[in-house]
Amino acid sequence: MKSNSEIKSFESENEARILLEESRKRIDEIDNALFDLISQRTSLAKDIALSKEYLGMPVYDENREKEVHRKIEKFAEDNNLDVDVIDQIVNLLTILNKNEQKEILRRNVNGQY
């Protein structure tokens, strides 16, 4: 998804205000979709944690994290996004998932699963 670098010129202040409001509305819709996807991604932590536990694997999987970072960095470069910022976002998502996995395993040990 390449960004549109074309400079928009406006015929009136009203036109600029309408575009601003439409753009903000679309950003809100995208944010809602992103949060839904983050929730879906995090909900997979239970399956991942229980599978890793059964297989005797640790929560932290360095090779998997490197693979995810390589894939997302290529995506960022291909789409003219700031690679460092995208990398930070992925770090936050993996922290969220690892924390959820640890909590699931803690509950599993305490007999709640």
CATH number of the domain that 92 lies in? 1.20.59.10
Residue 32 sits at φ, ψ, to 5 deg, of -60, -40
Q: What is the pLDDT of residue 109?
A: 74
**Residue 55's pLDDT is what?**
93
Residue range(s) defining the domain that contains residue 66: 13-110
Q: Is residue 5 part of a domain?
A: no
Q: Does 4 fall in a domain? A: no
Distance CA 93, CA 85 (A): 13
Specify whether the CB–CB gap between 30 and 85 falls below 8 A: no
The pLDDT score that the predictor gives to residue 3 is 55
The pLDDT value recorded for residue 111 is 60
Residues of the chain scoring pLDDT < 50: none
Q: Is 64 contained in some domain?
A: yes
Question: Quick check: is 102 in a domain?
Answer: yes
| Chain CA centroid to CA 97, Å | 10
Domains: count for the chain: 1
Q: Is the pTM value of this prediction over 0.85?
A: no
